[in-house]
Amino acid sequence: MTTTERLPRVLRPFGHRQYRLLAAGLALSMFGDGIWTVGVVWQIISIGGGPVELSLITGASAVGMVASSLLGGVLADRVTQRSILISLEAVTLVTVGVVALLAITGDLAVWQLAAVAAVGGVATGIYYPTYSALLPAIVPPRDLLAANGVEGAFRPVILQAAGPAMAGAMIALASPGVALAAAAASALLSGSTYVLMRPVPLRRDLTEDSRHPLIGTAVDMVDGFRFMVRTPWLLGTLLFASILVLTTMGPLEVLVPFALKDRAGGDASSHSLVLACFGAGGAIGSVLCASFPFPRRYLTAMFAIFGISSLPMLVFAHATSVWVFAVAGFVTGAAFDGPMVWWGTMLQRRVPPEMLGRAAGLDFFVSIGFMPVSMALAAPVAATLGLTTTFVLAAVIPLPFALLAYLMAGMWRDEIAHPIGDSDTANVQSGAAIRTSSAKTHPLQRVRDSETGANDTRHPAPDGAVTPGGVPPRR
């Protein structure tokens, strides 16, 4: 038994140096984003801004994320992912560092904050597809579930708690400008960890692609959509996720504070408690899903939990106690974030390496694209139907759509035909079945990372085929 195998399942990815550096970079990046989230609010207030200016900043960031997520997925399939991450942190360091300096010197204007927020949104939209495509290149397939669980736990703990807490302390002790400087420093440290990583080759051969880069990028994006449409489990999940985000995110983000105030006599601290419980549920759910073997009926398990994940919102429709709201928030967070660990692992083990960035970009686009729409609709729907009816609809609408997507995509058959286990073999969509016009992929070869033992390059084996060594592909 190796040293890595002696570790608890959820910690096994940390036995690989490449992953330790990648995880450190992710944590530092999230920490800086958390600092920025709070620091920019109080920086706006300090220069005389209000809700309108804050809406401008958050809107610019959201537009940047939505606009760049699909392109980010294409880039992740055309450019080495490590170099993309280094470039993104360098851009963040420069842009956030400049506004921090302007804030400290008293020369900052709202338009400058909005511009940097837009750039930050673009960086975020590119970052996550790139990270998702890089992870399976440095982590053995058997450890991907745990690595995705770590990411799921990082988000509420670091992005939503530690970063904002540090920003609050720095603002109280110094100024918002100093907090923004700390966010820039986090980008510097994050980028440094990526520099320390060994170069990771692109898992796609573009040497025979003679097209102009812009044409190649456009064709790659079209090919990504074609792959999604021709892959039932992927298309069905993304369509259902669109419904889930559209129906639940607005009520959760916009209406919960009003339900707390009107029904439970809550205040800002009560809302903070519910949000904290939601985050804690997400972290614990992610760790739990990463601590056990991947479910044999993984699509069934994922859709079963996602389908009922919104039902705790019935509590928001009727509860009169803050603690009941908090418990419902915890359960909702666990049900939302826990299965996401399975979903991320599914993408990384079933999507061909040369297509993974685009699949992750589509996933991220769905996650964020419908969120502002849901938030914009929540208030007028509640004003028309009332808080109770709005929460009830948000709770019950996703369930039949989950069942519909599950049945129409034949997911119970798919998961049996393509099992995902703990071995280091991968079962991905057949390269021939994609039938895209993308560049020729590598011939079958295995490039082993000498330290991690992860597969850096592998042509996807057809579903049901036998991988090198005679082992049936898992997943």
In a domain, 475, yes or no: no
Report CA dihedral (342, 457, 357, 209) to the nearest 10 degrees.
Answer: -160
| Percent helix, percent strand, percent coil in the chain, to nearest 5 | 75, 0, 25
Q: CA-to-CA distance for 148 and 363, rounded, in angstroms?
A: 15
The two three-digit tokens of residue 150, written as one number: 């770590």
d(CA 471, CA 475): 12
Residue 148 domain flag = yes
Number of H helices, E strands in the chain: 21, 0
**Residue-range definition of the domain harbouring residue 356:** 3-417
CA distance 323 to 342: 30
Q: Report the domain count for the chain.
A: 1
Asked whether residue 305 is domain-assigned, the answer is yes
CA atoms within 13 A on the CB side of 391: 23
For residue 8, the domain's CATH number is 1.20.1250.20
Residues 164 and 41: their CA atoms lie apart, in Å, by 11
Indicate the pTM of the whole model: 0.81
Distances from the Cα of 420 to the Cαs of 165, 236, 264, 355, 469, in angstroms? 39, 19, 45, 19, 18
Residue 138 lies in a domain: yes
Count CA atoms closer than 13 A to 302's CA, side-chain side.
28
What local confidence, expressed as pLDDT, does residue 102 receive? 95
Domain membership of residue 146 (yes or no) is yes
User: Nearest to residue 453, comparing CAs of 16, 132, 2?
Assistant: 16
390 alpha-carbon distance from chain centroid? 27
71 inside domain: yes
Report, as ranges of residue numbers, the positions in the chain whose pLDDT lies below 50: 430-475
Tokens at 329, concatenated? 């928030």
Considering the domain boundaries, does residue 160 fall inside one? yes
* 181 found inside a domain: yes
pLDDT digits (tens, 9 = 90+) for 72-86: 999 999 999 999 999
- In this prediction, residue 395 carries a pLDDT of 96
The C-alpha atoms of residue 129 and residue 75 are separated, in whole angstroms, by 9
Give per-residue pLDDT as tens, 316-336. 999 889 999 999 999 999 999
